[in-house]
A and B are shown apart, each in its own frame.
Chain A
Amino acid sequence: EPEVTQTPSHQVTQMGQEVILRCVPISNHLYFYWYRQILGQKVEFLVSFYNNEISEKSEIFDDQFSVERPDGSNFTLKIRSTKLEDSAMYFCASSEVASSGNTIYFGEGSWLTVV
């Protein structure tokens, strides 16, 4: 069964450092997402991406965050200067078409620890 894959599974970084989280969405999917879950909290939407541009972003997704689809398969989330409060599990997701009325499939997650 096709799946969303993410790397790394776990990364520890120092505060202020840049981090890039990588994702390979399901191959025929057109919509890509990043969500995150801070420990003990709910899963939160960060950003959606379609047709090589951001289609929607949350208030969490500030100037420190950026997304990119550098080639035909990868989808990346960059955190420019990490803060302690960025420590969370980051989930990449994809869907065939826009999320409403359609299923979003999630990757296994990348656990980011900022120290």
Chain B
Amino acid sequence: DQQVKQNSPSLSVQEGRISILNCDYTNSMFDYFLWYKKYPAEGPTFLISISSIKDKNEDGRFTVFLNKSAKHLSLHIVPSQPGDSAVYFCAASSITTDKLIFGTGTRLQVFP
């Protein structure tokens, strides 16, 4: 089931710079997208979401962009901080199902 893909397994960014995490999806029925942050041996923590009727949603340092025609979304973190170092998962849902479909995750490392 590759409906949600995160093609970059890892990303390394210097503190203070922008981190851009990407996610692609194949199912055009998806209408709600979420980003979760996860530390090892902990549960996913909700970060930010976006509905398919929008193309941008911003919350503090986090902004999610949605390009429906390209079936692509991205998470921008600016400025990046060392505490942002974690695995980031994008997830998608549709009105036809209860479940979230997760991507494989991108490990972000923010170094000083």
Contacts and interface: CB of A to CB of B under 8 A. Distances in A.
B34 A103 contact: yes
A65 interface: no
Most buried by A among B41, B43, B99: B43
Interface in B61-112: 89, 91, 93-105
Interface string A35-61: 100000111110010100001101000
Contacts of A109: 41-43
A33 interface: yes
Nearest to A43: B102
Interface residues of A, number: 31
A91 B43 contact: yes
Interface residues of B, number: 27
Contacts of A42: 89, 102-105
A100 B44 CA distance: 17
Nearest to A9: B41
Given A45-B99, A58-B99, A100 B32 contact: yes
Contact of B98 (A4, A89, A99, A105): A99
B81 to A, nearest CB: 20
